[in-house]
Amino acid sequence: MKKVNFFDTTLRDGEQSAGVNLNRKEKLEIARQLERLGMDIVEAGFPASSQGDFKSVQEIAKTIRDCSVTGLARSVQSDIDAAWEALKDGSEPRLHVFIATSPIHRKYKLKMTEDEVIDNAVRAVKYAAKFFPVIQWSAEDACRTELPYLARIVEQVIDAGANVINIPDTVGYINPLEYGKIFEYLKNNVKNIDHVILSAHCHDDLGMAVANSLSAIEHGAGQIEGTINGIGERAGNAALEEVAVALHIRKDHYGVETNMRLEEIKRTSDLVSKLTGMVVPPNKAIVGNNAFAHESGIHQDGVLKEKTTYEIISPELVGVSTNNLVLGKHSGRHAFRVKLVELGFLLEDEAVNKLFHTFKQLSEKKKELTEDDLVALVLEEQLKGEEGTYELVSLQVNYGTEGVPTAGVTLKDQNQTVIQEAATGNGSVEAIYNTLERCMKQSITLLDYRIQSNSGGRDALAQVYVKVKVDNVEMGGRGIAQDVLEASAKAYINAVNRAVLMKYTTNMNIQPTV
């Protein structure tokens, strides 16, 4: 069977989702899970865009060994140099270089003629070939580019040294029939097309990203690009878990194979959702909570008699479990460490010891801990280790139906100075946030607030996600605690810390939309 490569851009295109900002630890955790999932290529970021992105890409490239790590670059020598410095220690460093090709981009964005765009693209690929063993070239907005011109530039960048040619539907404009015809046209009109792998990168503005990706495979694409849970700019990208399962279930039709370990899909989806704060809709294909739920009496009757009557995908195929209880207060350090390894966390002894201490404290209050609880503990420990301005020391909230909600907060700033304030509000959360704003002495606007339970039961851990605006910087934050109000405070502080840190890091604010 023909092999199709999977190219994950959750850490680059996915992070461009509004309100999402991952730090280095979080990006590395996701990259490790993508490696376990069986991704062939992981796009770790855009090294030239900021020092923070450069360091994240560099660390991921040094850590990930079982798949190729790539970084994005414009057709600019300084971008290519930054990408090489970040990626050169990877097991198979590759470059993803792009330039726009459509008439509207040539005229209004680039202000270049057709020949100038070709010259720029060829020059960039030739320069990159001095360093990178694998070069992927992308025609931004390819699907609105004249086909004869697209064929001409593709032929020349292949001659210049490109190994992979990506045809992005940058604005989610095309339909599956039209997209397939582009691949057919290139195969029939580019004489050196057999020297490269064709790749598909689809956005979901019209809800056709997955369908377009599958059409590309039917018409010769050897690589599919997308993100976990379909996150990304605007309406998002093709959801790679949907493409992977479709290829598996309908292997009779597509006739291709992949390296994807489907049983890791659910765990990967949950991790990305938790770290980005982007909740997976219950009816989302493959990974939504309702994906395997049957409510109709007719459906229930059929499934009880024979699962395949209404269930084409088994929950076990994608790693959906019944969330069995795993550890309790009598569990030892060895069992705790083994379970962390099973969940995919490779931690230093010191980190494990800290987590075990936290686990023991929690197990005194929460009788039974699930895998989701352990994942939440690890993520909470990562939050504690974040470089930030403020740290929560204590929180006191007074509430009654006949009284005015009041909150008292004690914080420490980066100089370990203790700050104490109190304030009121119309509700407990508002009182907490009014108090925190006083402590931080800056204007903070709450844009979004969401709370969800980590698992079932009255003693479940609460996870709170917020989005705030601090001096025109929008930032998301999350907090995890057994108490909802404590989680709310932690989420707010986490978001402000990230916003403050963002203000003091150099960022060119380049937002490519390949």
Does an H or E element contain 186, and which? helix 176-189
Of 504 and 62, which is predicted with more confidence? 62
Full 3-state SS string of 229-285 = HHCCCCCCECEHHHHHHHHHHCHHHHCEECCCCHHHHHHHHHHHHHHHCCCCCCCCC
For residue 185, the model assigns a pLDDT of: 98
Q: What is the tens place of the pLDDT at every residue in 11-33?
A: 999 999 887 889 898 999 999 99
Q: State the amino acid at position 342 in one-letter form.
A: E
For residue 506, the model assigns a pLDDT of: 46
For residue 266, the model assigns a pLDDT of: 95
Tell me if residue 161 falls in helix, strand or coil: coil
CATH number at residue 399: 3.30.160.270
CA distance 241 to 33: 13
Q: What is the tens place of the pLDDT at every residue in 297-356?
A: 545 455 556 767 767 899 999 998 755 556 777 778 888 888 888 877 877 888 888 888
* 401 plus 346 within the same structural domain: no
Average pLDDT over residues 249-270: 97
Average pLDDT over residues 431-454: 93
Does 296 reside within a domain?
no
CA quadruple 27, 139, 278, 319: dihedral, nearest 10: -70
How far from the centroid of its chain's Cα atoms is residue 494's Cα? Answer: 19
When mean pLDDT is compared across 72-76, 244-248, 306-310, 359-363, the lowest value belongs to 306-310
When mean pLDDT is compared across 52-56, 250-254, 382-386, 458-462, the lowest value belongs to 382-386
CATH number at residue 242: 3.20.20.70
Domain count, the chain: 3
CA distance 12 to 43: 6
CA distance 296 to 302: 10
For residue 501, the model assigns a pLDDT of: 80
* 345 plus 405 within the same structural domain: no
* 481 plus 343 within the same structural domain: no
For residue 351, the model assigns a pLDDT of: 82
Of 248 and 340, which is predicted with more confidence? 248
Average pLDDT over residues 92-103: 98
Measured distance between the N- and C-terminal CA atoms of the chain, rounded to whole angstroms: 29
Query: Is the model's pLDDT at 190 over the cut of 90?
Result: yes
Query: Is the model's pLDDT at 296 over the cut of 60?
Result: no
* 398 plus 362 within the same structural domain: no
* 15 plus 163 within the same structural domain: yes
> Which of 276, 292, 317 is a domain's end point?
276
Of 497 and 505, which is predicted with more confidence? 497
For residue 269, the model assigns a pLDDT of: 96
Whole-number average pLDDT of the chain: 90
Q: What is the tens place of the pLDDT at every residue in 106-123?
A: 999 999 999 999 999 999
Report which of 55, 16, 17, 21 is spatially closest to residue 499, judged by C-alpha positions: 21
Full 3-state SS string of 337-406 = HHHHHHCCCCCCHHHHHHHHHHHHHHHHHCCCEEHHHHHHHHHHHHHHCCCCCCEEEEEEEECCCCCCCE
Q: What is the tens place of the pLDDT at every residue in 375-400?
A: 878 877 766 655 568 999 999 999 99
Place of tokens 């999402």: 20
* 118 plus 137 within the same structural domain: yes
Domain region containing 361:
325-384
Does 315 reside within a domain?
no
* 466 plus 359 within the same structural domain: no
For residue 336, the model assigns a pLDDT of: 84
Query: Is the model's pLDDT at 38 over the cut of 70?
Result: yes
* 57 plus 174 within the same structural domain: yes
Place of tokens 């993100």: 227
CA distance 371 to 373: 5
* 270 plus 353 within the same structural domain: no
Q: What is the tens place of the pLDDT at every residue in 77-92?
A: 999 999 999 999 999 9
| 132: Cα within 13 Å, side-chain hemisphere | 34
> Which of 384, 400, 424 is a domain's end point?
384
Q: Are 387 and 501 in contact (CB under 8 A)?
A: yes
Most distant CA pair in the chain, distance? 80
* 360 plus 445 within the same structural domain: no
Q: What is the tens place of the pLDDT at every residue in 148-175?
A: 999 999 999 999 999 999 999 999 999 9
How many CB atoms within 10 Å of residue 98?
26
Report residue 157: phi and psi, to 5°: -75, -30
When mean pLDDT is compared across 195-204, 241-250, 285-294, the lowest value belongs to 285-294
Does 289 reside within a domain?
no
Crossing angle between the packed helical segments 147-160 and 176-189, to the nearest 10 degrees: 50
